[in-house]
Amino acid sequence: MAVWQFQATLVPFATAVDHGLLPGHRLSHAQREEIAWWSGKTVAVEKLQQLSKVLPAGKSWTEELEVFGDLETTCVTIFSDRGAVVEGKCSPRFENSIGRSRQSSAGFCART
């Protein structure tokens, strides 16, 4: 059985567009590091509710980290500092067949 796992950084669509990160365009590592992707942005409560239906809240070791799913398999993590989102990550794990939770986590990652 083939198992594939990778990690994608979640960025707000509007911020990506504002900084020229459109489909087919690439930013250098330095450019990506300079952008405060989540400054003043949040993840809509509705999005988190949708996500929790397919990736239930997971265990976290700190209040600043929200985990949806299982850190060892498929998960979405959102790190906050004093209530403000700082970083989001999506780590889907794909096996031979793609199940509902894997499709949903990948979809959430693509639309955030």
Q: What is the tens place of the pLDDT at every residue in 65-99?
A: 999 998 888 899 999 998 889 999 998 887 754 55
* Average pLDDT estimate for 6-32: 84
Given this model, what pLDDT does residue 107 score?
60
What domain count does the chain have? 1
Supply the pLDDT for residue 5. Answer: 72
Tokens of 11: 């960025």
Position 104 scores a pLDDT of 56
Instruction: Tell me if residue 18 falls in helix, strand or coil.
Output: helix
Question: Contact at 8 Å (CB) between 105 and 76?
Answer: yes
